[in-house]
């Protein structure tokens, strides 16, 4: 899992405007293939867990989203949890801007009190539009892998062949008063 987080991190950092993108990709791919050949292949949700962790590092929230200086940084999962322990394993011991990361799982939107990144599970696809409408005034990075969301989903995972990619809706981020790093925007 540490390798996967590092690879996702390298992918995000390696997107500097003066670095030739194909060269960067080739170097990452070379290291990825060599290391993954020695370990078990990452599952779809291991990759998504690593992305969620890295998204948190490249987005800025208004300071008033935290109840106090010691409040944890929360990554939430709404609906049936497809991650199992993988998301918990990914963030264990990690910090964002000095705040400890915690994972919270929610059965319904009423349970969401203090959350910075929210992954909306596929089990909620029939209610996605209602959910994002309910959360429209909250400063939450909404992430999902299902279609819909009335233009309020900020990051959507997509599968292209065997790869997990993501698309960023910069307008939705702006509406949520979130600032996404240009490094992350170039990748999405």
Mean pLDDT of 181-188: 84
pLDDT at 26: 39
Burial class (CB in 10 A: 0-12, 13-18, 19+), 162: exposed
Residue ranges of domains in the chain, CATH in brackets: 43-187 (3.40.50.2300)
pTM: 0.78
3-state secondary structure of 177: coil
Report the alpha-carbon angle 164-75-9, nearest 5. Answer: 45
pLDDT at 5: 53
pLDDT greater at residue 123 or residue 15? 123
| Residues 6+ away with beta carbon under 8 Å from 145 | 48, 122, 156, 157, 158
Measure the CA–CA gap between 68 and 99, rounded to whole angstroms.
Answer: 11
pLDDT tens for 88-104 read 999 999 999 899 999 99
pLDDT tens for 133-183 read 999 889 999 999 999 888 899 999 999 988 999 999 999 999 999 999 988
């Amino acid at each position: 899992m540490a390798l996967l987080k590092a690879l996702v991190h390298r992918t995000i950092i390696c997107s500097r405007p003066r670095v030739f993108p194909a060269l960067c990709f080739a170097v990452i791919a070379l290291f990825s293939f060599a290391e993954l050949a020695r370990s078990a292949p990452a599952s779809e949700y291991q990759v998504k867990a690593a992305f969620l962790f890295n998204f948190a590092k490249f987005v800025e929230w208004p300071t008033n989203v935290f109840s106090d200086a010691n409040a944890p940084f929360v990554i939430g999962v709404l609906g049936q949890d497809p991650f199992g322990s993988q998301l918990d394993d990914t963030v264990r011991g990690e910090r964002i801007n000095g705040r400890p990361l915690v994972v919270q799982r929610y059965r319904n939107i009423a349970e969401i009190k203090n959350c910075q990144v929210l992954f909306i599970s596929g089990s909620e696809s029939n209610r996605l539009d209602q959910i994002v409408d309910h959360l429209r005034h909250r400063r939450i990075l909404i992430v999902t892998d299902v279609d819909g969301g009335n233009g309020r989903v900020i990051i959507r995972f997509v599968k292209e062949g065997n790869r997990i990619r993501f698309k960023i809706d910069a307008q939705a981020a702006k509406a949520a008063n979130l600032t996404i790093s240009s490094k992350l925007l170039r990748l999405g």
